[in-house]
Each structure stands twice: as structure tokens, then as C-alpha cells.
Amino acid sequence: MLSFTVLQAQVNSLMPAPQKVIETKAKFRVSNLFSVESSSLTNSRVESYLNNILFRIDGRTGIGISKEQTYNGKGQVNIQYDQVAKLALGADESYKLKITAQAVNITSANDIGAIRGLETLLQLLSSDEDGYYFPGVMITDNPRFQWRGLLIDVCRHFFSVETIKRNLDAMAAMKMNVLHLHLSEDQGFRIESKVYPGLHELGSNGKYYTQDDIQSIIQYADNRGIRVIPEFDIPGHATSWFVAYPELASQPGPYSIEKKYGVMNPSFDPTKEITYDFLDKFLGEMSTLFPDQFMHIGGDENNGEDWDNNSEIQSFMKDNNLKDNQALQNYFNQRVSKILEKYDKTMVGWDEILQPGLPNNIVIQSWRGKEAMINAAKNGYRVMLSNGYYIDLCKPASAHYSNDPLASENNLTPEQRLNILGGEATMWAEMVTEETIDSRIWPRTCAIAERFWSKQDVTDMSDMYRRLDINSVRMEEIGLLHIKNQEMMMRRLTSGADISSLKILIDASEPLKIYSRHHQGVTYSTDMAFTRLADIAIPDPQSVRKFNSMVESYLASNSEKDKQNIIEQLKVWGNNHDEFQDLAKSAPILRDALPISKSLSKCALICLEFMRLEENSRTDSDTKQINSLFSEAKKPCMETELMVITAMEKLLQIKFD
């Protein structure tokens, strides 16, 4: 439950931070007599979105808000916009929000701007001793970037329609506007094709979206001002295509759905005309299903081995003066681009597709880095950045927040800067399941959403984290499971036993970052149950940040309050191992975590002892033993790492060095 102090005036908790905010002392009181007047335009996004907002306000206040809408100029909340927008790149999302003691006014050019303003209004809901209110403000707001996306890989692990929709709600809450669905991969083909039914019938293990599902997702997203862009990864990452249609591949097969992860050899044969006939019919079908202008073809990580080992492909390359596999893939991409043009679609692809001969209306999604992105922008291509926003790497929100698509040192002309559309957070799903996807996306993606929306100079890291923690809790009301699923997973591992000692250990830990989890002796596959400590632990946990902050504050100020808070936390960790040992006796899966639990306890007790000493009494022998213990504590255990050890070391070093 939110504390009273968090529920007080919420002007400084807005996320993403608006472009301009002027505060007044007015308070618009919220009662069950709430009435709304909206623009006379009907059948728009605003009506359904407004009902959602009112429901969420009611959920926070419990006062039984009326859902009445009026058209007589007497509404307390007035929403005015000029038109229903076509959902497309560059749609106007600006709005103005004015709150006085008498009324709330949201004005915008179109209904998308209006729903962005409604989300800001909801974040402003505040309370005091007299009840609930909206604080007086005048807000003028618009996004910094046009393209503010989230990629969800539904291939390596499949996610239900319900999961996609609740994440769309979270995206809307953070004013993101593109859902990028990665729909084909070595591990699965995830969409129904009526033209080539073998794709989903044989390439999905029965886990795919029907076309009705997709239409439902698209409509749900549209109502929230979010575009849906499909990705069909070709010519590589393509095993699942060939399970039913091996004749399209560069090697004869047979093929089966891949269960392991990595860069695989199977690739489309770009020399066969049947390849392009097939893709023409398939992409034509998908073009009628997905209304957005853009369609993503992937194009990344094609290792070319199956091309190298095919004599007919090698002869084709020689006959057509294609000097290497890159040139062959460029030939393939040009053919595919013309197919997409036929269906009025614009091609999007990863860095690898950018080669001579492709039209410069395509969009490059950069995973390689800013240099590649900037070079593409200089050459006239529209680009978006994903390098630095790979949220599956479990990096802290601070790392993503400090990554700006338009850093000041980019040496781009004003015209070239316009080619940088924005960026996308990427949720690759090798080690993500229905139970953990929310905790891997949120709340860290809130920081990315702010980087895409707010001014470039909104960079205060501590303030970002303050607002991130507030909005993380708020987002539970839209159904996110990023908080509640963690304790559920702990209870399952312990068969309902007291999880207190496990939670203490988990709260001091994080899953391994980047791709180091793949190198801990476990071979991961789609068949595995991802229910280990590394799956329960979350990236960038508030508990670790809080302890690290206390240590930094104490070292800077020698505050007695900070010292006592640190001591109390060290006591908790120091005394936890005995209880955890008892729990592990009845939960065998936890026994592998005994070393990390013991390390946490020992390190905490050493820090506790020295925190209590008035003078340094540490001998050289003590120092050697402590260094050995802390080095051991930093080693991964069950694919997790103790993220509080570095802060503990700082305590010891500053006190005795």
C-alpha cells in the first residue's frame, strides 16, 4: 500500500517529465460528483480511455466516481480536441493541461494528445487531510522523439494476448507509442497464416496468435495511441519457417523447431524465385493484417554458413558478381524491399541491412551502437536506437537513462538530426517467461520512456529513481505483475513455507548482467523452467539501491542516522543465514544458494563489527582474510550476484585506509 506521504502532492512525481510545468496553489477536489465534458467527436479513443482513467481514479479513491459525460459546457473535466488522428509516425501527441480549483481542462490537436494528457492527470491525483484532489498546474507537453518503442520477442518464449495487453497499458501510462512484435525466430513462428498454414501449424508447437488475436491486439493498442509493427526475421533466424517449407532453405533439411539459443545456420535461399514468390504472398497477407506503414524484416546475424556450403548458391554469386555473403544478402534485401513497396509498406531492419542500393526511405534499427546509427543518419536514412536499451541484459535503469539517442557530440546537421526518430527498448526472451516478463521490462523501461519523451536536460539520476519507485507501484493498478509475482515464485519454491529468509537474500541480489548467465555451466533451452534464484531476483532492485545510497550518504556526511540505518540492515543480513539454512533443508533447490547466503552473512557481520569499533584494530592478517572473503562473495552463485558487497567494501576501506 502506498504511504500517506507518497500520496501527497504529486506534481514532482510525473514520469515522463513534461516539457513545461507551472504550479499554482489551487486544488481541484475530487468527489463522486465528478463530471466530464468531451469534444463532440464520437467513436474516438478518448471515450474508452477516459473510462479507463476514471476506473483507475475510483480504484485509488474508492469514492464511486460518476462516469457521466456531458455536452452542455458544465463538466468539471473538459476535454477538447480538434480531430481523431490517424495513428502514424509523426502524429501530434502534444497537449495542454490546466487545473484550477473549479475545473480541469485538457486541450489538444487530436485525440491522441488528449489521452496523453489524461495519463498525466491520473499521475497528479493527490491527497491531504481533506481528501483527494488534483493540484493546480498549467502543463504544456509534447514528446521529444516520434518513435518511442518496446520490442517484445514472443518467439523464444511465447506470451499470451493478456500479457501483451497489460504491457500495452503500461506503455500507454509511460506515453510510449510503438509495440514491436518479434514474430518469427528459430524457436518458433508465432502468427497464423491462412495462405501458408504450415508456418503456424508446424512451426509453433501450438503457441501462436490467431489473426483474430492480432486484430484484437492492434485495436487495443490503437485505443491507446500505440502502433503495432511486426517483425518477420529473414533471411537468418529462420528455422521455424523451414519446418513446413524446407524447399525455401539453403540446405535440404529436414528441420525442426530449435530449442537452444544462439546464432543458427538455417537461412533462406536467396537465389530461388520460389523464395520471393512465397514471401510475396506471405507479406501481402500480413500487410492486410497490420495497418501500420512499417514492416520489420530483421536481417541480423545471418552467419552465411549454409550459403557457403551450397554449390548452387556459390555459382549464383559468381554469375551475378556478388563478391561475398553481404552482397548476396543485399540482393535479397532489395528484392524484399520491392515486395514491401508493392504493398505500400516501408521496410525496417537491423544495422546489417544497410547496404548500397536500398532506398533511403527505409528505417534502420541500430543494435550495434551510436556510431552506426549516426553514420546512417548522415547518409540520409531514418534511424532509431536500441543499443543501450537492451533490457534483457538486466542493467540498471541508470545505464539506460544516461543513454541518449541524440547526444550533443554527434556532429549532425539540423537536417540530419531529424533522421533520428527515437528508439526502442528490446525485450529478448531467451530467459523470460510469462511469470517474469513484467519484472524484466518494468519499472526500468519507465526511465527509457522518459529519455524518449522528456527534454534532453532532464538527467537527474537520483530524482529519476525517486519517481521510478513511485510509478512502479502505481503501475500495479493496470495489472502488471512485476512486484507481486516475485513473492509468489518464492512461495512455490518453498512449498508455502515462511519465505522471509529467502526474500532477504533475494533483495540483496540481482540476476547476472549482460549475457554472463549463459556461461555459468547451464545449457539453457526453451524446455527449461525458469524458476531459479536468478529468475526471482530482479534487475536494479530498490533494496540494493537504498543500501548503496545510505552508504554513500554516510561516507559523505558521517551522519549518525545513516550509520544506525546501515547497522540495522547489516544485522538483518548477518543473522539471516541460520534461518535460510533451515529453509533449504525442506527446499532442495535452495541448497545451491547456501554459499551466497553464507557469504552475505559473513560480510555483513564483518562490516557490523567494524562499524561498531571506535578505532582501527584490523591486522594485516585480518585484511588478507577479509579481502579473500569479499572476493569470494562477489562470485556468481545460481546465476545471481550479491550487489551489496561493493558498498560493504567501501565502508571498510573508508574507515581503515
DSSP assigned state of 234: -
* Separation CA 426–CA 155 (nearest Å): 13
Give CA–CA dist 5/128, Å, rounded.
9
Q: Is the pLDDT of residue 290 over 70?
A: yes
370: Cα separation from own chain's centroid? 19
What pLDDT score was predicted for residue 6?
Answer: 39
Cβ atoms of 426 and 229 within 8 Å: the answer is no
The answer to whether residue 4 scores a pLDDT higher than 60 is: no
Q: How far apart are CA 494 and CA 489, in angstroms?
A: 9
pLDDT at 504: 98
Where is 112: in which H helix or E strand? helix 111-123
Q: Of 441, 466, 376, which is closest to residue 176 (Cα–Cα)?
A: 441
Beta strands in 15-128 (DSSP E): 20-29, 36-38, 69-70, 77-83, 95-99, 104-110, 126-128
- What's the CA gap between 624 and 158, in Å, rounded? 49
C-alpha span between 435 and 493 (Å, rounded)? 14
What angle is formed at CA 335 by the lines to CA 362 and CA 262, rounded to 5 degrees? 75
The pLDDT of residue 182 is: 98
Of the options 3.20.20.80, 3.60.21.10, 3.90.1150.10, 1.10.3720.10, the CATH number for the domain spanning 147-456: 3.20.20.80
Element (H, E) at 189: strand 188-189
* 139 φ, ψ (degrees, to nearest 5): -115, 130
pLDDT digit string, tens, across residues 137-194: 999 999 999 999 999 999 999 999 999 999 999 999 999 999 999 999 999 999 999 9
Domain 4-141 listed as CATH 3.40.50.300: no
Helix (H) or strand (E) holding 161: helix 161-173
pLDDT, tens digit (0-9, with 9 covering 90-100), for 552-596: 999 999 899 999 999 999 999 999 999 999 999 999 999 999 999
At 39 the pLDDT is 67
Cβ neighbours of 388 (radius 10 Å) = 22
Residue 619 pLDDT exceeds 60: yes
Parse the chain into domains and list their residue ranges.
4-141, 147-456, 491-656
Does 656 score more than 60 pLDDT? no
- What is the mean pLDDT of the segment spanning 54-58? 92
Give kind and range of the element (H or E) at residue 406.
Answer: none
Convert the pLDDT of each residue in 433-483 to its tens digit: 999 999 999 999 999 999 999 999 999 999 999 999 999 999 999 999 999
The mean of the pLDDT values for the chain is 93
**The amino acid at 557:** S
Q: Three-state SS string across 2-41, please?
A: CCHHHHCCCHHHCCCCCCEEEEEEEEEECCCCCCEEECCC
301 is catalytic: yes
Looking at the chain, the whole-number percentage of residues with pLDDT higher than 70 is 95
pLDDT of 2 reads 35
- pLDDT per residue over 225-262, tens digit each? 999 999 999 999 999 999 999 999 999 999 999 999 99
Residue 616 has pLDDT above 70, yes or no: no
Pairing of strands 509-511, 420-427: unpaired
Among the ranges given (63-77, 488-502, 529-543, 598-612), the one the predictor scored with the smallest mean pLDDT: 63-77
Would you state the pLDDT for residue 100? 96
Do 229 and 213 form a contact (C-beta atoms < 8 A)?
no
The per-residue pLDDT for 5 is 39
pLDDT at site 66: 72
pLDDT of the residue at 654? 57
Res 7: pLDDT: 43
Active-site residue, selected from the candidate residues 201, 301, 476, 487: 301
Predicted structure pTM score:
0.95
The pLDDT score that the predictor gives to residue 1 is 33
- pLDDT at res. 67: 66
Across the range 212-235, mean pLDDT stands at: 98
Q: What is the DSSP string of 356-386?
A: TTS-TTSEEEESS-HHHHHHHHHTT-EEEE-
Q: Within its chain, how far is the Cα of 61 from the centroid?
A: 29
Mean predicted confidence (pLDDT) in 28-39: 84
Question: What pLDDT is recorded for position 104?
Answer: 95
